[in-house]
């Protein structure tokens, strides 16, 4: 009984914390940004000042210059020339992935369609890309990774997923063109779904693996490596086992 006051206080604290947590609980019909929207709607935008007054930001620039939404944007820079920026995004109203490039530090932008592998599955087959990620090596090559999702019978009753795979496009001109595309690790629609790839390049000057390019993604926790002299991604593929507790 001596611990009753302490226990009561603990339960009270848990209930107080559970209130805000319950308010943040998401349901399938609400997007993840809904709580932020409700907070801004109720309280307005805070009038904060930057912690470092010497930091300033210029005006927003329209990098896509296209109608409709472009989502899941990703941006990187050339380590050897940091005024060269390269970016990518999903293209919602059209099929290809979208690429962007700037040679003046982001003041002006150009755009390009990043190629997709051909569709599979016959009549009414269909595919699109998603989840862009980009990285530069030390030689000025930029690599653009994404997933490809294949459908068949798109306008029929099936709308079957025929499979998913990873793809990496390579550009030697800062993202203005992507003449080389390397698809790999195809999985059927009955297998796991390849998702959320992230790409990185080894830019350490003293590394024996300098300019190797690595892709990791959410499927079964795999990564794949492209050697600096190769034109395609090759094994080894590694399974990354997630902890269960």
Residue 1 tokens read as 């009984």
pLDDT in the model for residue 229: 47
Number of domains forming the structure of the chain: 1
CB 34 within 8 A of CB 26: yes
**Confidence at residue 103, expressed as pLDDT on a 0 to 100 scale:** 95
- Classify residue 93: in a domain, yes or no: yes
Q: For 6-49, what is the HEC assignment?
A: HHHHHHHHHHHHHHHHHHHCCCCCCCCCHHHHHHHHHHCCCCCC
CA proximity to 88, closest of 150, 147, 151, 140: 147
Q: In tens digits, what is the pLDDT along the chain, a chain of 245 residues?
A: 444 444 444 334 444 444 444 444 555 566 666 787 788 888 887 776 656 667 777 788 888 878 778 889 999 999 899 899 999 999 888 888 999 999 999 999 999 999 999 888 777 788 889 999 999 999 999 999 999 998 876 555 445 788 899 999 999 999 999 999 999 888 887 777 888 999 999 999 999 999 999 998 887 555 556 665 445 665 545 554 444 43
Question: Is 179 domain-assigned?
Answer: yes
Q: Is residue 228 part of a domain?
A: yes
Domain that holds residue 121: 74-239
In a domain, 5, yes or no: no
Q: Is 176 within a domain?
A: yes
Task: Indicate whether 86 belongs to any domain.
Answer: yes
For residue 111, give the CATH number of its domain.
Answer: 2.120.10.10
Q: Give pLDDT, residue 153.
A: 66
Q: What is the pLDDT of residue 192?
A: 79
This prediction has a pTM of 0.72
Question: Is 131 within a domain?
Answer: yes
Q: Residue 36 falls within a domain, yes or no? A: no
Task: Give me the pLDDT at residue 31, please.
Answer: 62
135: which residues sit within 8 A by CB, 6+ positions away? Answer: 76, 142, 143, 199, 200, 201, 213
């Amino acid at each position: 009984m001596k611990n009753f006051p302490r226990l009561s206080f603990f339960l009270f604290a848990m209930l107080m914390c559970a209130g805000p947590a319950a308010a943040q609980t998401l349901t399938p019909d609400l997007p993840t940004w809904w709580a932020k929207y409700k907070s801004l709607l109720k309280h307005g935008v805070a009038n904060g000042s930057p912690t470092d007054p010497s930091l300033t930001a210029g005006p927003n620039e329209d990098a896509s210059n296209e109608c409709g939404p472009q989502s899941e944007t990703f941006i990187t820079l050339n380590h050897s020339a940091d005024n060269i920026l390269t970016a990518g995004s999903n293209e919602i109203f059209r099929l290809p992935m979208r690429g962007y490039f700037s040679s003046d530090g982001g003041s002006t932008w150009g755009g390009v369609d990043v190629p997709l592998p051909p569709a599979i599955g016959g009549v009414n087959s269909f595919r699109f890309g998603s989840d862009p990620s980009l990285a530069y090596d030390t030689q000025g090559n930029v690599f653009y990774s994404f997933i490809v999702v294949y459908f068949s019978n798109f306008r029929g009753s099936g709308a079957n997923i025929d499979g998913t795979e990873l793809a990496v496009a390579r550009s030697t001109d800062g993202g203005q063109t992507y003449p080389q595309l390397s698809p790999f690790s195809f999985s059927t629609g009955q297998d796991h779904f390849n998702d959320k790839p992230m790409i990185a390049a080894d830019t350490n000057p003293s590394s024996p693996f300098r300019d190797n390019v690595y892709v990791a993604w959410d499927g079964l926790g795999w990564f794949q490596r492209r050697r600096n002299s190769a034109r395609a991604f090759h094994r080894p593929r590694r399974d990354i086992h997630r902890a269960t507790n």
